[in-house]
Amino acid sequence: MATPATTAAHAPGASEDTGLWSWLTTVDHKKIGILYLYTALFYLMVGGLEAALIRTQLAKPNLSVVSAETYNQLFTMHGTTMVFLVVMPLSAAFFNYLIPLQIGARDVAFPRLNAFSYWVYALGGLFITLPIFFGVAPNGGWFGYAPLSGPTYGSGFNMDFWVLGLQILGISSLAAAFNFITTIINLRAPGMTLMRMPMFTWMSFVVQFLVILAFPVITAALFFLQFDRFFGTNFYVVQAGGDPLLWQHLFWVFGHPEVYILILPAFGLVSEVLPTNSRKPLFGYNVMAYSGMMIGFLGFGVWAHHMFAVGLGPVADSIFSLSTMLIGLPTGVKIFNWIATMYGGSLRFPASMKFAIGLIAMFTIGGISGVMHSSPPSDLQQTDTYFVVAHFHYVLYGGAMMGIFSGIYHYFPKITGRLMNERLGTWHFWLNFIGLNLTFFPMHFSGMLGMPRRIYTYDAGQGWELFNLMSTGGTYLLIVAGLVFAYNFFVSRAKGAVAGSDPWGAPTLEWSIPSPPPDYNFAQIPEVTSRYPLWDLKTPDRTAGLEHSHGDAGAIAAAHAVPVHEETERRTAKELGIPMPVNTIKPFMVALGIIVMFSGLIVLHAGKFPLAMATMLGGGAFMVASLYAWLTSPLE
């Protein structure tokens, strides 16, 4: 065995097999997490390019960089890509990689289902993205409002890809959520009570419940739209008595919890980064967990604030206005708890910490403009203007993406065994911070001056020119920031300083094992006695005042649990006698069958009935056969 310095990337215990086939067949939650990470970063590039084209078109009045039709496709795909193909999967990358490590498990509850989720996402992403190369990308907005997305006004193939693509991506999210709920409830190490879970796992836990309760609603709404488009039903057909508002209600009953699905994982990540780099326990842990639950719960009761302009009447407007203001409270609690975590701490500012503090500041700006929207009279002035665009980019880019960048800098050493370059990280942070404010802050003004969303160009003389030019310049700066990040990512991955198991002096279980972790994660399942097991071990004075338990896990019949310790030895699963799930291609095949089946409907729209039936039945049969093969073969 060589020294750790030369084996960071290919250490024993980590999988030796790194060929293409090993990635297609892997069921290891860490490798699947890495697949999610790379795929989502690829789509981040795609979505970023779409944004760059949008902003180039809007840089000056009456430009014609792209046509109006192309512009519709670009803003639709920018929103759809960033929500479903970037932020959710980046969160999923962290769920996959971190949840089992943080709770002291060897894998997720259903490793093959996990692989299935990834492949449905990867193939579904292609399904919804590739049409842009043929000029038939979705063009009805990421919210797909009926009847614009219906068969009458959206008669092309464009929205077919959107409806079916979202349906496919929903399968992926739901399967993953069932998996993670089971994992968190059932695979926690002895002594890891719910109130000892790391805050990232807590926020992920809340998110999975949002997914399983919100996604079925859009599934139903999409089925209605699908039936309207393909089978001539009347769900959103006004002439038949149908009500397009049904779509808006169903979409936002999903859509508002969805924004918490996007932001809570980022909140979880910074809740790991801030205490570690303040060298102080998270302030108000219990309240942080409860406010996460509260956000999740209230998130289902605020959807109609997206619909104030519809005219729901004073009673409905008042109720949704109040519930929206109410949801600001648990969110504000989180902001203050993060600040209080830093207060009095021994602060350190690696790139991850800069991004975490950036999230607090930027999300607060987005949060405040959000509270402005909660008032219907104010919202009526702002709705459908760039002010709203400014608001949700502050929460989603300034919030979710900053949090995710923070998480990438923090966990990169765990995933790759090497540290990212801090100097480039600092450049990335400042370019990103200035770029995002330059892009999105002027949108508040162009919005207040009445610039509508989704227009492909505008006339001069309305006071919008300067603000638009600033936004476009900011976007280019964000692209430079992205390039710095990409360079740092790949160079550090190959040549970065070797990290060791715990480069940040962090408190939670994932840092007790080697970086990158061996296939089986923990050679011995740890027995946890507090929230910060590694600080108990290394800096006990930091956690002396917190609740601990001693030896109570005896009641838990755990066969091999041992007190938390740092694992440095690397041996293979076979040497340790740990049974590992075997790699299998079957989840990939089931996912492929699903995609083929859905593609049949596109063929149906093209009017080729026999071919459509053949595609659907063929894909369906392939899916069912692969599923039976999967279910009848043993896991290990």
Instruction: Return the residues of window 288-347 that contact another protein according to CB under 8 A.
Output: none
Interface with another protein includes 197 (CB under 8 A)? Answer: no
State which of residues 3, 19, 134, 232 lies at the interface with another protein (CB under 8 A): 232
> Is 397 an active-site residue?
no
CB distance 512 to 534 below 8 Å:
yes
Sign of the alpha-carbon torsion through 445, 446, 452, 453: negative
Closest to another protein by CB, 214 or 266: 214
- Which residue in 188, 229, 280, 306 is the catalytic one? 306
CB distance 71 to 139 below 8 Å:
no
In the complex, minimum distance from the CB of residue 557 to another protein, in angstroms, rounded to a whole number: 8
State which of residues 51, 168, 262, 525 lies at the interface with another protein (CB under 8 A): 525
Interface with another protein includes 256 (CB under 8 A)? Answer: no
CB distance 253 to 303 below 8 Å:
yes
- Spell out where 335-426 has E strands: none
Q: From CA 217, how far away is CA 45, in angstroms rounded? A: 30
Interface with another protein includes 216 (CB under 8 A)? Answer: yes
Torsion-angle region of 476 (φ positive above 0: left; ψ -120 to 50: alpha; else: beta) = alpha
Q: From CA 524, how far away is CA 319, in angstroms rounded? A: 52
Residues in the chain: 636
Nearest Cα neighbor of 250 from 278, 287, 225, 283 is: 225
In the complex, minimum distance from the CB of residue 504 to another protein, in angstroms, rounded to a whole number: 28
State which of residues 62, 239, 286, 346 lies at the interface with another protein (CB under 8 A): 239
> Is 258 an active-site residue?
yes
Report which residue type is found at 174.
L
- Which residue in 97, 121, 260, 285 is the catalytic one? 260
Closest to another protein by CB, 159 or 525: 525
In SS3 terms, 556-602 reads as CCCCCCEECCCCCCCCCHHHHCCCCCCCCCHHHHHHHHHHHHHHHHH
In the complex, minimum distance from the CB of residue 25 to another protein, in angstroms, rounded to a whole number: 21
> Is 260 an active-site residue?
yes
Tracing tokens 């370059």 back to the chain, one arrives at: 421
> Is 67 an active-site residue?
no
Q: From CA 50, how far away is CA 35, in angstroms rounded? A: 23
In the complex, minimum distance from the CB of residue 178 to another protein, in angstroms, rounded to a whole number: 5
> Is 548 an active-site residue?
no
Q: From CA 116, how far away is CA 28, in angstroms rounded? A: 12
> Is 271 an active-site residue?
yes
Closest to another protein by CB, 27 or 109: 109
Instruction: Return the residues of window 71-110 that contact another protein according to CB under 8 A.
Output: 109-110
- Spell out where 342-403 has E strands: none
For another protein, how many residues bind (rule: CB under 8 A)?
47
In the complex, minimum distance from the CB of residue 626 to another protein, in angstroms, rounded to a whole number: 15
State which of residues 143, 227, 290, 441 lies at the interface with another protein (CB under 8 A): 227
Q: Does residue 565 sit in helix, strand or coil?
A: coil
Q: From CA 314, how far away is CA 301, in angstroms rounded? A: 17
Interface with another protein includes 381 (CB under 8 A)? Answer: no
Tell me 196's DSSP state. G
CB distance 34 to 93 below 8 Å:
yes
Q: If you write DSSP's letter for every residue of 285-307 in order, what string do you get?
A: HHHHHHHHHHHHHHGGG-GGGG-
In SS3 terms, 452-483 reads as ECCCCCCCCCCCCHHHHHHHHHHHHHHHHHHH
Q: Which contiguous run of DSSP H or E holds residue 155?
A: none
> Is 256 an active-site residue?
yes
Closest to another protein by CB, 9 or 635: 635
In the complex, minimum distance from the CB of residue 320 to another protein, in angstroms, rounded to a whole number: 18
> Is 633 an active-site residue?
no
- Which residue in 50, 160, 228, 258 is the catalytic one? 258
> Is 107 an active-site residue?
yes
Main-chain phi, psi angles of 583, to 5 degrees: -65, 145
Instruction: Return the residues of window 564-593 that contact another protein according to CB under 8 A.
Output: 579
State which of residues 217, 259, 282, 479 lies at the interface with another protein (CB under 8 A): 217
Interface with another protein includes 231 (CB under 8 A)? Answer: yes
Interface with another protein includes 250 (CB under 8 A)? Answer: yes
CB distance 226 to 601 below 8 Å:
yes
State which of residues 198, 242, 367, 435 lies at the interface with another protein (CB under 8 A): 242
Interface with another protein includes 240 (CB under 8 A)? Answer: yes
State which of residues 219, 375, 381, 426 lies at the interface with another protein (CB under 8 A): 219
State which of residues 118, 215, 456, 630 lies at the interface with another protein (CB under 8 A): 215
- Which residue in 60, 453, 548, 571 is the catalytic one? 453
CB distance 565 to 533 below 8 Å:
no
> Is 38 an active-site residue?
no
Site string for another protein, 150-189 (x = CB under 8 A): ------------------------x--xxx-xx--xxxx-
Interface with another protein includes 544 (CB under 8 A)? Answer: no
CB distance 329 to 322 below 8 Å:
no
Which residues bind to another protein, rule: CB under 8 A?
Answer: 109-110, 174, 177-179, 181-182, 185-188, 190, 192, 212-217, 219-221, 223-224, 227, 231-235, 239-243, 246, 250, 525, 557-559, 579, 628, 634-636
**Which amino acids are annotated catalytic?**
78, 107, 142, 172-173, 256, 258, 260, 271, 305-306, 331, 334, 453
